[in-house]
Structure 1
Amino acid sequence: MRKLVLFDIDGTLVKVEGISRNALIEALRKVYGSEGSAATYSFAGKMDGVIIYEVMRESGLLDNHIQARFEDVKQTYIDIFKQCAEQNHVQLLDGVVALLDELAAHSDVVLGLLTGNFEDSGRHKLALSGINHYFSFGAFAEDGHERIDLPEVAVDRAYHRTGKRFTGKDVVIIGDTEHDVRCAKVLNSKCIAVATGYYSIESLEAGKPDHVVENLRDTTRIKEMILSE
């Protein structure tokens, strides 16, 4: 096996407009009695757990009070999201299925997720868009306090599934924000930044990823970037 390819979800594989924020706002109101700054907070590239802490601090809650009800608000958010999100709320981004098909056909490529989503809500997005089956494992919001904690978790899970310890540029992180670029630098991984989210090509280039692309439509080109040494 040559490459471990780790995909971000939101803005990279799919776009979910509005429903995630609305579900979180409802959950925060139910559990904490306030939505904090959730209506205006930028979710891009952030961990779901971090989002909850930061938006509730804006409403004056102390960390110990947030922590005391954290599992409640997490599960409430997941439940509301899964009840409300339907297939028409999830936009599968151009080129994603073709690229995943190509990579899944390679016996020397392992596919995984590296995302700030809680696993249940993240996988529900992928299930609604018909691509959850490509990913048998990943690293999620539950697996670290910061996004930079996640690459090591994903590499370790890949090792337990394959027996191979992926290192350096054999790990490829594909994402749409500066946070994905930073993640790649933690283990000196390869990064392909894709401008299908809220970040422009220019802003992504500022973080010095290995490659920046406008989208994932050019399957041959993206695959070459992934498989190159």
Structure 2
Amino acid sequence: MARLVLWDIDHTLIDTRGVGREMSAAAFQKTRGLPLREQAKIDGITEAVIFRETAKLHGLTTDRTDFERSADALTEEHLKRAANLRECGHALPGAAAALDALAAFGVEQTVVSGNIRPVAEIKLQVFGLDRHIVWDLGAYGEESDVRADLVRLSLQRANASATEAVLIGDTPADVDGAHANAVRVIAVASGRSDQAALRQASAEVVLADLQDTELLVRLVRDHNP
């Protein structure tokens, strides 16, 4: 039986409906002094990589200090525009019920996300999805460029073995990061990757969404569904 769930955030639990990009653009303008013309691929990628690759698209070379300034600006934008995020974005169908149901069965839940931790916290707080999340067990986009490293960090912080954990995410990158640590995956086709792409990435289970709470709990609790 799994005792730990590692949640992805964007397109797994929530959809910012474009507000996230607007806030990224504002943070980029503030720290780089340029309008955001285009953004690097973001699905399954950590915030540090998104920042670096986006800067390259604008002909800029950056270092860790630049990223930290950008991360601070991005946090400020999320704090300033939390009401806008709440109004325009939404929790995905079944997300709140899934979190509640897993908590009722005593499953620890945390986040493994490409988001930096302050932004991850704000996003889930805005939609009321944070009450069961043990933040200190998670791993975040400022801690490594590589998602597999984040999964490993979270397992270490939770003192959990791979067989005790399940990762729930929406991209092939989520699947790859989990499998690099021998962690089982429940993939949800609620983002840009369809069910076929997630199966091709070798996710053990692929769901259309999180709406069947009973099924999700059973899949998490049963190590070999």
Q: TM-score, normalised by structure 2?
A: 0.92
Taking only aligned residues, the RMSD between alpha carbons, in angstroms, comes to 1.6
Task: List gaps (5 residues or longer) in structure 2.
Answer: none
Per-residue deviation, 1:169 = 2.9
Contact between 1:118 and 1:140, CA under 8 Å: does it hold in 2? yes
Contact between 1:170 and 1:190, CA under 8 Å: does it hold in 2? no
- Which residue is equivalent to 2:199? 205
Residues of 2 paired with 1:76 and 1:19: CA distance?
Answer: 15
Per-residue deviation, 1:167 = 1.8
Per-residue deviation, 1:195 = 0.4
Residues of 1 paired with 2:113 and 2:53: CA distance?
Answer: 18
1:130-169 pair list within 5 angstroms: 130-137=128-135, 138-159=138-159, 166-169=160-163
Work out which of the residue numbers 213, 216, 221 in structure 1 matches 2:215: 221
Per-residue deviation, 1:41 = 3.3
CA deviations over 1:71-116 (Å, ceiling 9, x no partner): 1111011101220132213311111111111110123x21111111
Residues of 2 paired with 1:184 and 1:41: CA distance?
Answer: 23
- Which residue is equivalent to 1:10? 10
CA deviations over 1:3-25 (Å, ceiling 9, x no partner): 21111000000100111111111
Work out which of the residue numbers 55, 70, 75 in structure 2 matches 1:78: 75
Three-state SS of the structure 2 residue aligned to 1:141 is coil
Residues of 2 paired with 1:169 and 1:207: CA distance?
Answer: 19
The letter of the residue matching 2:54 is: V
Residues of 1 paired with 2:2 and 2:74: CA distance?
Answer: 38
Contact between 1:36 and 1:58, CA under 8 Å: does it hold in 2? no
- Which residue is equivalent to 1:162? none
- Which residue is equivalent to 1:116? 114
Per-residue deviation, 1:197 = 0.7
The letter of the residue matching 1:71 is: E
Contact between 1:178 and 1:204, CA under 8 Å: does it hold in 2? yes
Q: How many residues align?
A: 219
CA deviations over 1:42-85 (Å, ceiling 9, x no partner): 322111111000000111112xx343422111101110122013
Three-state SS of the structure 2 residue aligned to 1:143 is coil
CA deviations over 1:116-163 (Å, ceiling 9, x no partner): 11111111111110011110221111221211110111111212xxxx
The letter of the residue matching 1:134 is: H
The 3 A distance-change label for structure 1 pair 16 and 141 is: same
Task: List gaps (5 residues or longer) in structure 1.
Answer: 160-165
Contact between 2:39 and 2:54, CA under 8 Å: does it hold in 1? no
Q: Is 2:185 the counterpart of 1:187?
A: no
Per-residue deviation, 1:222 = 1.1
Structure 1's consecutive aligned runs of 4 or more residues displaced over 4 angstroms after TM superposition are none
Three-state SS of the structure 2 residue aligned to 1:174 is strand
Residues of 1 paired with 2:222 and 2:73: CA distance?
Answer: 43
Three-state SS of the structure 1 residue aligned to 2:157 is helix
1:90-101 pair list within 5 angstroms: 90-101=89-100
Residues of 1 paired with 2:57 and 2:216: CA distance?
Answer: 41
Q: Is 2:164 the counterpart of 1:170?
A: yes
